């Protein structure tokens, strides 16, 4: 997964959230799994990829 090698950008994250069809349970699940995976990474990994834990939590809540 792109997350594992630190290849997810903030721009890609916004594209992901803006383009999701919230009536499609598979798309919603895919985004939820993305944020779950990202939330399980350590703080250093998250910070090295220009995120904060707060941003990850916010995305997961969306």
* Cβ burial, residue 38 (10 Å; 0-12/13-18/19+): buried
Q: Quote the pLDDT of residue 24.
A: 93
> Helices marked H in 1-62 — which ranges?
10-19, 25-39, 43-48, 53-61
Alpha-carbon span 11 to 24, nearest angstrom: 22
For 33, phi and psi rounded to 5 degrees? Answer: -65, -35
Q: Which pTM does this prediction carry? A: 0.63
Q: What is the pLDDT of residues 20-61, one digit of tens each?
A: 888 999 988 888 887 788 788 888 887 877 777 787 777 767
């Amino acid at each position: 997964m792109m997350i594992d090698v630190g290849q997810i950008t903030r721009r890609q994250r916004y594209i992901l959230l803006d383009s999701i069809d919230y009536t499609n349970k598979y798309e919603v699940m895919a985004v939820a799994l993305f944020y779950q995976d990202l939330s399980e990474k350590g703080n250093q990994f998250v910070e090295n990829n220009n995120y904060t834990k707060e941003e990850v939590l916010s995305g997961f809540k969306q």
